């Protein structure tokens, strides 16, 4: 598949033209410091990272995109099906599946990895048809990172920085306000086929230029390989670290809501009061850090303390889901949870403290 070397402004014009006949989503500013993947309209102002001055001109950071782009595939609230009861009392559901084609452009490597993890998770066991219907009709245009998002980022340590899997097209900033545009799938190549972009004669040199531009190390690093961090977390059930970090937790659930790999939900059935033989089932995002998340019939709560809930959240990212799916864990190191937490409870620091205490606390 041939790649292209394109002026950044030319590529942005192409995205804007594409958005006239496709549903294109891009990180657009919603305040001075936050962005949201929003539908590109004719007056939307799109900005991409500059190679020569990525820090100053950096238009959007993954950690500042709230909610993460995966929420366009798994919304916080959605209608699953309507239902009607017939005269024999049997209920007939009509699923509401979203097969609309969409393009998410400007997806950073950590979010590409989060979407790849969700693809595996949502396709496992009884697959989630709602997620898969959206995902099957979604194209991803990834965008490289030349600078860490902020002081909360640890994407390289979490194995996300060089993630490309799942992207149909991948963009890498180049000197002189240009972009390396690489199609990575047939669908990506088809989308670019009529763009008229000039071919790139040396893709390896372009990639090498971007690699040399990144600081080394890139963002925060654990003091041991990720596999050892994951082992330390797994062995830390009794550690005092949980209480130390959760002591100031408000149990607000924000860390769950902003996380690109959190997926818990609750369902609700609503009957139509004017036509009691019909109704709708909806689902709504839930959060394991909320106090009543683990409350069961009879009022018993098997994760009553914030420390127990924090341990569950961290174990799920570093232990439970990796045990089931393999790989480098379900925390992609985007830093959103630490950045958004009012009291700065930070999963990187928790994992670092567990690693430091490994052995004594197990
Ligand atoms: S965002 Fe912070 S305060 Fe809120 S539940 Fe998560 S760790 Fe606790
Ligand atoms: S746990 Fe925090 S750092 Fe890890 S993926 Fe979720 S939001 Fe990002």
Across 60-69, 209-218, 302-311, least confident range: 60-69
The region that residue 196 occupies, defined by phi over 0 for left and psi between -120 and 50 for alpha, beta otherwise, is: left
CA of 249 to the centre of ligand 1 (A): 5
CA 213 and chain centroid, separation: 25
pLDDT mean across residues, the chain: 94
The pLDDT value recorded for residue 359 is 54
Confidence of residue 362 (pLDDT cuts 50, 70, 90): very low
- 361 pLDDT higher than 60: no
Chain segment 44-84, per-residue pLDDT in tens: 989 888 888 766 555 677 778 899 999 999 999 999 999 99
- 92 pLDDT higher than 90: yes
The pLDDT value recorded for residue 59 is 60
**Mutation pick for ligand 1 pocket among 248, 255, 310 (CB with most ligand atoms within 8 Å):** 255
Distance, CA of 304 to CA of 320 (rounded, Å): 20
Ligand nearest to the CA of 288: 1
Cβ–ligand 1 contact at 110 (below 6 Å): no
Burial state string for 234-248 with b = 16 or more CB within 10 A and e = fewer than 16? bbbeebebbeebbee
Chain segment 157-171, per-residue pLDDT in tens: 999 999 999 999 999
Q: Identify the residue whose C-alpha is closest to ligand 2 atom 7.
A: 259
> pTM of the prediction?
0.95
Ligand nearest to the CA of 249: 1
Mean pLDDT within 318-344 = 94
Nearest ligand 1 atom, CA 340 = 1
The pLDDT value recorded for residue 272 is 93
Among candidate residues 39, 37, 58, the one with its CA nearest the CA of residue 47 = 58
**Mutation pick for ligand 2 pocket among 150, 261, 288, 289 (CB with most ligand atoms within 8 Å):** 261
Mean pLDDT within 100-107 = 97
Across 35-49, 70-84, 173-187, 306-320, least confident range: 35-49
Distance, CA of 324 to CA of 316 (rounded, Å): 10
Nearest ligand 2 atom, CA 262 = 6
The pLDDT value recorded for residue 360 is 44
Distance, CA of 222 to CA of 228 (rounded, Å): 10
Residue 84 host element (H or E): strand 77-85
Other CB atoms within a 10 A radius of the CB of residue 260 amount to 26
Q: Which tokens is 31 given?
A: 């305040």
The pLDDT value recorded for residue 125 is 93
Chain segment 119-149, per-residue pLDDT in tens: 999 999 999 999 999 999 999 999 999 999 8
Give the list of residues 6+ apart from residue 275 with CB closer than 8 angstroms, or none. none
Nearest ligand 2 atom, CA 158 = 4
The pLDDT value recorded for residue 260 is 97
Residue with the larger pLDDT of the pair 117 and 359: 117
Chain segment 234-272, per-residue pLDDT in tens: 999 999 999 999 999 999 999 999 999 999 999 999 999
CA of 132 to the centre of ligand 2 (A): 22
CA of 299 to the centre of ligand 2 (A): 30
CA of 253 to the centre of ligand 1 (A): 6
CA of 258 to the centre of ligand 2 (A): 8
CA of 201 to the centre of ligand 1 (A): 49
């Amino acid at each position: 598949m041939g790649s292209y070397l394109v002026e950044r402004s030319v590529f942005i014009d192409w995205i804007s033209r594409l958005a006239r006949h496709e549903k294109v989503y891009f990180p657009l500013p919603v305040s001075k410091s936050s962005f949201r993947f929003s539908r590109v309209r004719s007056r939307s102002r799109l900005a991409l990272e500059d190679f020569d001055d990525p820090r100053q001109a950096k238009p959007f950071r993954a950690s500042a995109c709230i909610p993460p782009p995966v929420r366009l595939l798994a919304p916080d609230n959605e209608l699953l099906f309507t239902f009607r009861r017939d005269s024999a009392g049997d209920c007939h559901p009509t699923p509401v599946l979203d097969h609309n084609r969409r393009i998410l452009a400007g997806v950073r490597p950590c979010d590409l990895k989060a979407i790849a993890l969700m693809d595996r998770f949502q396709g496992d066991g009884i697959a989630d048809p709602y997620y898969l219907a959206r995902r099957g009709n979604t194209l991803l245009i990834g965008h490289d990172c030349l600078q860490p998002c902020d002081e909360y980022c640890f994407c390289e340590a979490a194995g996300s920085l060089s993630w490309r899997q799942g992207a149909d097209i991948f963009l890498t900033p180049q000197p002189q306000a240009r972009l390396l545009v690489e199609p990575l799938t047939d669908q990506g190549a088809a989308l670019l086929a009529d763009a008229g972009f000039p071919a790139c004669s040396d893709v390896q040199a372009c990639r090498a230029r971007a690699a040399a531009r990144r600081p080394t190390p890139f963002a925060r690093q654990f003091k041991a390989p990720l596999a050892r961090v994951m082992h330390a977390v797994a062995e830390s059930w009794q550690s005092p670290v949980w209480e130390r970090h959760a002591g100031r937790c408000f149990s607000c659930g924000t860390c769950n809501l902003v996380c690109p790999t959190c997926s818990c939900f609750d369902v609700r059935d609503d009957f139509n009061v004017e036509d009691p033989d019909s109704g709708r089932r909806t689902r709504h995002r839930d959060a394991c850090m909320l106090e009543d998340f683990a409350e069961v019939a009879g009022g018993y709560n098997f994760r009553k303390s914030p420390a127990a809930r924090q341990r569950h959240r961290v174990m799920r990212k570093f232990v439970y889901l990796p045990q089931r799916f393999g790989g480098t864990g379900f925390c992609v190191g985007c830093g959103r949870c630490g950045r958004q937490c009012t009291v700065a409870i930070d999963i990187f620091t928790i994992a670092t403290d567990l690693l430091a205490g490994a052995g004594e606390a197990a």
